[in-house]
Amino acid sequence: MEIIARIHTEFGSKFGIPRQNGLVPSLRGEICFEPAYRDPAAIKGIEEFSHLWLIWEFSESKKENVSLTVTPPRLGGKVHKGVFATRSPFRPNPIGLSCVRLEEIRFDEKRGPILVVSGADLLDDTPIYDIKPYLPYADSHPEARGSFGEEHKDDQIKVIFPEELLERLPKDIRQAALDVLSQDPRAAYNKKPEYIYGMLFAGYDIRFTVKEDVLSVCDVVDTASRDYTKVK
């Protein structure tokens, strides 16, 4: 398969990425097409849809020997489930599927059409293999059962983000940062009360601790690691 595009998001590492798409609607991402697919004709009519399916590659989660059973973090990392009964990134074929909302289409002289989407759960620079429109009549199943994936779907944690630290972030990403932190980025089996965690977000290292279900941000460091103007 050929890579048709790459998505650019605020996540410089896997830590902190929402566990499912759509959990943090305030997150924004830009889908930039590879040179061979920058013809505007390729997306003609896409503006008529509100949501899109992205088929992409788990580019940072590859293993030579993939186990057929995994231990989902949402079950504490101790309960074994079949890999095909989970959304584990470690799969025989490292392919992911995400539904995102199409917010805007921009046209750049060098990069061609750019799709601005929200609710993405993807690492920055993730390769995309295909984009398909979401069809409510066929893709929505309100009666569907979600098994163990439903048990913690509404879980959130209280976030204390001191104003002087929050002001170190650009205004347009502050709410998204708060929303991501409220999802509790830590793995379910790796929760140390005295540990200082670091989440790379939009070129900033947001450092925090968690004690008694309260997440407290203790520092925000500008890593100067992102260049949004770079042409891919």
Distance separating alpha carbons of residues 17 and 11, to the nearest angstrom: 7
Distance separating alpha carbons of residues 127 and 4, to the nearest angstrom: 8
**How high is the pLDDT of residue 61?**
66
So where are the chain's domains? 5-139, 151-222
In contact, 218 and 196? CB cutoff 8 Å: yes
Note the CATH number of domain 5-139. Answer: 2.40.30.70
Per-residue pLDDT of the chain (232 residues; tens, 9 = 90+): 999 999 999 998 888 888 888 888 899 999 999 999 999 999 999 999 999 999 999 877 666 778 888 877 767 677 888 989 888 888 889 999 999 999 999 999 899 999 999 999 899 999 999 999 999 999 998 898 877 666 656 678 999 999 999 999 999 999 999 999 998 888 766 677 778 999 999 999 999 999 988 999 999 999 874 444 333 3
**How high is the pLDDT of residue 229?**
39
Class of residue 21 by CB neighbours under 10 A (exposed 0-12, middle 13-18, buried 19+): buried
**How high is the pLDDT of residue 151?**
64
Question: Angle at the Cα of 154 (from 57 to 171), degrees rounded to 5?
Answer: 70
Distance separating alpha carbons of residues 52 and 124, to the nearest angstrom: 18
Dihedral sign, CA of 94, 207, 23, 192? positive
151-222: same fold as 5-139?
no
Looking at domain 151-222, what is its CATH homologous superfamily? RelE-like (3.30.2310.20)
**How high is the pLDDT of residue 62?**
66
Read off the DSSP letter of residue 2.
-
Q: Is 133 helix (H, G, I), strand (E, B) or coil?
A: strand
In contact, 198 and 186? CB cutoff 8 Å: no
Specify the pTM: 0.84
Distance separating alpha carbons of residues 207 and 226, to the nearest angstrom: 18
Rounded to 5 degrees, what are φ and ψ at 57?
A: -110, 135
**How high is the pLDDT of residue 189?**
65
Distance separating alpha carbons of residues 96 and 74, to the nearest angstrom: 18
